[in-house]
Chain A
Amino acid sequence: MSRQYETVIGLEVHVELATRTKIFCGCSTAFGGAPNTHTCPVCTGMPGSLPVLNKRVVELALAVGLATGCSINQYCKFDRKNYFYPDNPQNYQISQLYLPICHDGGVEIETADGGKKVVGIHEIHMEEDAGKLIHDEWEDCSLVDFNRSGVPLIEIVSEPDMRSADEVIAYLDKLRLIIQYLGASDCKLQEGSMRADVNLSVREAGAREFGTRTEMKNLNSFKAIARAIEGERTRQIDLLESGRPVIQETRRWDDAKEYSYAMRSKEDAQDYRYFPDPDLTPVVISDEMIREIRNRQPEFRTEKKARYIKEFGLPEYDADILTGTKRLADIFEEAVAVCHRPKKVSNWLMVETMRLLKEREMDADRITFSPEHLAKLIGLVEAGTVNGSVAKEVFEKIFDEDVDPERYVEEHGLKMENDTDALQKTVAEVVEANPQSVTDYRAGKKKAMGFLVGQTMKATGGKANPAAVNQILREILEEKQHE
């Protein structure tokens, strides 16, 4: 009988803060600039340059700490973490070891059995990102771009409170939502503005001591994280079952091969010789600053969801989905502010938007269309300018290319055909051309009606008002029957 094992997981989550400038200099943090166009003597580690702390970084770190129930170190400071690597121009990273800004918080997650549990947050500290290294295949050298060097990060270190991949995903989802609602970061895993390192160990069920843990890096999607956890759990159990020890090390997850590899340890091992950074002054956080940030906290998901149900009369299910990502909630509110049709906006988001997201394999975070265009489209449907099927077609254009629906409908001649005389004539022609369907209809095959409606819609290029077509057709068919 094989032994039962328990997986113990803790996470180190790095989140890139949504500031305009870097943490210690006035260089831009904009994504995608040409190499080294956002650099200066400070973020390239030139001797004699001096860092000055960006106030916004402290505010955002505080906001995240308060929203996750952390205690605040009202006297905090920065330390140097020393190591040599070409992406680290100062030969040290400025971080916080001794007095991190936030500590001892937690977020509540839902577990698989429907229960709730709190995942503890050990601490949150502020630090700077490193540069980007590219390996040049041709010349056997590496190239460094320091645009990311000095971009502000917070590292959120959890307690080893998670026991499964599901709990890890639930924790990350919750964390991401809180941070997005705060506007502290966009938290895009794929683009690296949120990164998670997984610390994992296994132990026999019921054991009190933790097993030896490994740290896994290079996880850039929720799916990769789930697969890496399963893979590493299996690897460690296999080792223990065959009587071999788990070695404490850093491993790199290869999502394509679904296996983790030990990263070759740098010659100098993990000895960072932290010491207080003498270039930076301590940060003293006043009660007033904490109060101010607390007052500025936005409406979080629970309150927002309740408000959507109460104020807009949305079903709980819809309210739950819409508040599940900050992006959807923002689009919903902005569109409603323009067209005042909450249920219609919700329907477009719940049905067509969800369908297109699934089809395009996209996260809601990546939606780019403007809410006003959705509001305008709803206006066009309400005014009877376009019919339902044309509206869906136009919406797809809005979703993909953010077209202005009014102009698009105008330019493509998609206005609904309400001209009864013209429609009457088209329907008559369709009936004339399809005697068999007319006979079928009379013989009681009501399905024939659908075919004739379809033919008429086709003849009008899909622009006819379906209600009008139905009515005219029925009149003609009934009439013929009485002849």
Chain B
Amino acid sequence: MANVISDEVIDYVGILAKLELSPEEKEAAKKDMGRMLDYIDKLNELDTSDVEPMSHVFPVHNVFREDVVTNGDDREQMLANAPEAKEWQYQVPRTVE
């Protein structure tokens, strides 16, 4: 494995992804990530300077909607998905400014 993931990197990625990993999970993730980067390095061996970057898997563009209201008040159904709700709003742990 050419790419070795450090503890700092895996901890940082954990913070960004809001994941808490046990020591065993951390080691496994480091290995997985190293292998993924090796694979990317392999892909990078290919000369793609003449190839346009792909931004969508299908050759489609300009999929638009007209500016017309199609949705009504559906808050009862929407809030059914909330872990907790209060006064028709989603209740979350207090955020600090």
Residues of chain A at the chain B interface (Cβ within 8 Å): 19-21, 25-28, 34-41, 44, 46, 52-56, 58, 77, 82, 84-86, 133-136, 139-146, 252, 263-264, 267-268, 271, 273, 276, 278, 280-284
Contact = CB atoms under 8 A, between A and B. Distances in A.
Contacts of B57: 278
Given A35-B88, A54-B64, A84-B18, A142 B93 contact: yes
A311 B94 CA distance: 60
A139 B94 CA distance: 9
A28 B73 CA distance: 10
B47 interface: no
Contacts of A35: 75, 87-89
Q: Is the interface of B mostly helix, strand, loop or mixed?
A: loop
Interface stretch (B25-33, B35-43, B78-86): B78-86
A40 B68 contact: no
A53 B65 contact: yes
Interface of B: 15-16, 18, 55-58, 60-71, 73-75, 78-79, 81, 86-97
Nearest to B91: A141
Contact of B67 (A19, A41, A77, A135): A19
Given A86-B90, A141-B91, 10 more contacts: A26-B69, A27-B69, A36-B88, A39-B74, A46-B81, A52-B64, A134-B89, A264-B96, A267-B15, A283-B62
User: Which of B58, B62, B81, B88 has the most C-beta atoms of chain A within 10 angstroms of its own C-beta?
Assistant: B62
A26 B66 CA distance: 9
Nearest to B60: A281
User: Which of B16, B55, B57, B68 has the most C-beta atoms of chain A within 10 angstroms of its own C-beta?
Assistant: B55
Given A35-B75, A36-B75, A283-B61, A55 B67 contact: yes
A268 B65 CA distance: 35
Contact of B16 (A86, A264, A271): A271
A144 B90 contact: yes
Given A36-B75, A36-B78, A86-B95, A55 B16 contact: no
A367 to B, nearest CB: 27
Given A40-B74, A55-B66, A56-B67, A282 B56 contact: yes
Contacts, number: 132
Given A46-B81, A86-B95, A268-B16, A20 B69 contact: yes
User: Which of A25, A35, A264 has the most C-beta atoms of chain B within 10 angstroms of its own C-beta?
Assistant: A35
Contact of A53 (B64, B69, B75): B64
Contacts of A273: 16
Given A35-B89, A36-B88, A278 B56 contact: yes
30 contacts: A21-B67, A26-B69, A27-B69, A27-B71, A28-B71, A35-B88, A35-B89, A37-B73, A37-B88, A38-B73, A39-B71, A39-B75, A39-B78, A52-B64, A53-B63, A56-B66, A77-B55, A136-B91, A136-B94, A141-B86, A141-B93, A142-B95, A143-B86, A143-B87, A143-B92, A263-B97, A271-B16, A281-B60, A281-B61, A283-B61
Contacts of A20: 67-69
A52 B73 CA distance: 20
Contacts of B94: 135-136, 140-142
Contact of B55 (A37, A136, A276): A276
Contacts of A268: 15-16
Q: Which 7 A-B pairs have the closest CB atoms?
A: A26-B70, A143-B89, A56-B67, A55-B64, A144-B90, A36-B75, A37-B73
Contacts of B73: 34, 37-38
A285 to B, nearest CB: 9
Contacts of A263: 97
A136 B84 CA distance: 14
Given A37-B73, A263-B97, A278-B56, A142 B67 contact: no
Contact of A284 (B62, B78, B89): B62
User: Which of A19, A37, A267 has the most C-beta atoms of chain B within 10 angstroms of its own C-beta?
Assistant: A37
A21 B95 contact: no
Given A133-B95, A271-B16, A52 B61 contact: no
Contacts of A27: 69, 71
B96 A40 contact: no
